[in-house]
Amino acid sequence: MAILCTTTSPAEKEHEPKQDLVKDQTPLIFNPSLLNLQSQIPNQFIWPDEEKPSIDIPELNVPFIDLSSQNSTLEAPRVIAEACTKHGFFLVVNHGVSESLISDANRLMERFFDMPLAGKQKAQRKPGESCGYASSFTGRFSTKLPWKETLSFQFSNEKSGSRTVQDYFSDTLGQEFEQFGKVYQDYCEAMSSLSLKIMELLGLSLGVNRDYFRGFFEENDSIMRLNHYPPCQTPDLTLGTGPHCDPSSLTILHQDHVNGLQVFVDNQWQSIRPNPKAFVVNIGDTFMALSNGIFKSCLHRAVVNRESARKSMAFFLCPKKDKVVKPPSDILEKMTTRKYPDFTWSMFLEFTQKHYRADVNTLDSFSNWVITNKNPI
């Protein structure tokens, strides 16, 4: 969801806003078909030596959670707790999401990114906003640009039956994108339902009533993102997405067949192999705060290659924007201190969009910012 962080000693970075925001200049246009014709990619896409991608890395042993199994409520909480206290990543299979829906969502994603740049720019993201089309975030940052383009849009699971996604495509890109809107509305609803099932297991993993987190996220204000990582002639110099922890609560990622996702565990980068029949799930900063730091929001990134484009779909589960984020009493009664102050998702989202280029220290930096500025919730 965001980018930037050193890989040499992530935990020791200073908690301060990043100074690479674009200021009063015409941003670079990310057009990989033209950029790859140059003898070298622009300097803005070249990352420092200590942050460049590793060539050979081991594969991360990520547990599989079978949601169709009768033992899912018995064994799964223990397995999830073990993974989430270490790195926050696990895979879910037999998840109940229609294969045809996943296929349609992937097909339409490919159609969108195959459009001419001018067509995609109809949905251009505006400064300070989290949704819309972004070509490598060139409008936000001036250094360490990611080699990718994205389309992000909001999803609301309000009981009023809002068709937020469907309306977004028609209003932003025109009525000819009505089918896009219907497919991604259905996909987001499926992701929201899957998120709530996972939240039940996370609650059990933390020793909380299984309905607690499900109820907390029932009316979520989430974000859906389509990612396209084009081939790059010098993949050893750049990154598709820089090292970051997701500010949201939970990420449900579907990868295509191309490798690219890497996680920083045990002081080294490790890969998660694509599995089209599984969703990659990881804990975000907001749920880390809800667990009072018990479950980890782990550093991860995406790499690119010369031969193949890589695409992925990420659903970022977020609380309703005015919901107060604080751990349940069942957790706090077992711990002596609160690690993070109360906050709302709208405050945290604004911090990551306008004040801070997200990294491994985003949550700590935000907490210090809240306390220093005495921002009321």
Residue 160 has pLDDT above 80, yes or no: no
The pLDDT of 240-251, averaged and rounded, is: 96
Q: How many CB atoms lie within 10 A of CB 59?
A: 10
Report d(CA 82, CA 319) in Å as an integer.
Answer: 24
Contact 367, 341 (CB under 8 A): yes
pLDDT at 15: 38
Which whole number is the average pLDDT over 108-121?
Answer: 95
Question: How far is Cα 337 from Cα 49, in angstroms, rounded to an integer?
Answer: 39
* Annotation says 301 is catalytic: no
Given this model, what pLDDT does residue 128 score?
A: 73
pLDDT surpassing 60 at residue 12: no
* Catalytic position from the list 125, 140, 225, 310: 310
Q: Supply the pLDDT for residue 8.
A: 33
| pLDDT score of 11 | 35
Output the average pLDDT for the chain: 89
Nearest to 63 by CA among 211, 201, 190: 201
- Once rounded to an integer, what is the mean pLDDT over residues 236-261? 96
Element (H, E) at 201: helix 178-205
* Higher-confidence position of 373 and 260: 260
Q: How confident is the model at residue 28 (pLDDT cuts 50, 70, 90)?
A: confident
**For residues 276 and 239, is the Cβ–Cβ distance under 8 A?**
no
Residue (of 299, 231, 293) closest to 267 by Cα position: 299
What confidence tier does 222 reach under pLDDT thresholds 50, 70, 90?
very high
- Supply the pLDDT for residue 323: 94
| 62-67-69 Cα angle (round to 5) | 110
User: What is the arithmetic mean of pLDDT over 171-194?
Assistant: 96
3-state secondary structure 34-91: HHCCCCCCCHHHCCCHHHCCCCCCCECCCCEEECCCCCCCCCHHHHHHHHHHHCCEEE
Distance CA 64, CA 266 (A): 20
Q: Bigger pLDDT: 332 or 56?
A: 332
pLDDT category at 341 given cuts 50, 70, 90 is very high
Tens digits of per-residue pLDDT, 289-325? 999 999 999 999 999 999 999 999 999 999 999 999 9
Reply yes or no on whether the pLDDT at 108 is more than 80: yes
Q: pLDDT value at position 353? A: 85
Q: Is the pLDDT of residue 208 over 80?
A: yes
- Could you give the CA distance from residue 177 to residue 180 in angstroms, rounded to a whole number? 5
Report the alpha-carbon distance of residue 165 to residue 169 in Å, rounded: 7
Q: How confident is the model at residue 36 (pLDDT cuts 50, 70, 90)?
A: confident
At residue 285, the pLDDT reads: 97
Query: Is 292 within 8 Å of 331 (Cβ atoms)?
Result: yes
Classify residue 153 by its DSSP letter: E
Query: Does the structure show a pLDDT above 60 at 23?
Result: no
Looking at residue 25, its pLDDT comes to 53
Kindly report the pTM of this predicted structure. Answer: 0.91
pLDDT over threshold 90, residue 5: no
